[in-house]
Amino acid sequence: MSALGIKEQLALGQPTLLNDTHASGAGTMDFFIPVHTNDESDFSAIFQVVGTLTSLTAALQVSLDGGNTFNDLVASASFLTTSAPVKVVTPVFSGGVIFRVNVTVCTGSQDFYVSVN
């Protein structure tokens, strides 16, 4: 899996599959989070990897310059791994930010889901 060229637009409260085909190998999946308008609630995201988890290491990255530069928001040691295929990230910010799941190790056959509230 390499840079897939897919930039998913998430919908609040709707689980979204980030990859079109089962992921295997290193690569990236980009997505946008819609502007969060409910200032009465916490804004968070839950990530889940489903499939044969032989080995997995992935970081959550963010770009504020339109996708030219990505930096770790959640490092790979603390994000999605073989032993921890689910992660809640809070608080999450929205509007004009590109998020990326940067997969550095992925063997097996996996699907990456995310949902934001």
pLDDT at position 90 is 86
Concatenated DSSP letters of 68-110: S--EEEE-TTTSEESS--EEEE-S---SS-EEEEEEEEEEEEE
> Hey, is 43 helix, strand or coil?
coil
DSSP designation for 21:
S
Domain CATH number, residue 104? 2.60.120.1300
The reported pLDDT for the residue numbered 108 is 82
**Within 10 A of 33 (CB to CB), how many other CB atoms are there?**
22
* 56 burial via Cβ count (<10 Å: 0-12, 13-18, 19+): buried
pLDDT for res 41: 63
Structural domain boundaries, residue 10 = 3-116
Instruction: Indicate the number of domains in the chain.
Output: 1
The low-confidence residues of the chain, meaning pLDDT below 70, are 1-6, 22-23, 37-42
What is the structure's pLDDT at 12?
82
Q: How many CB atoms lie within 10 A of CB 1?
A: 17
Residue 42's SS3 state is coil
pLDDT for position 2: 47
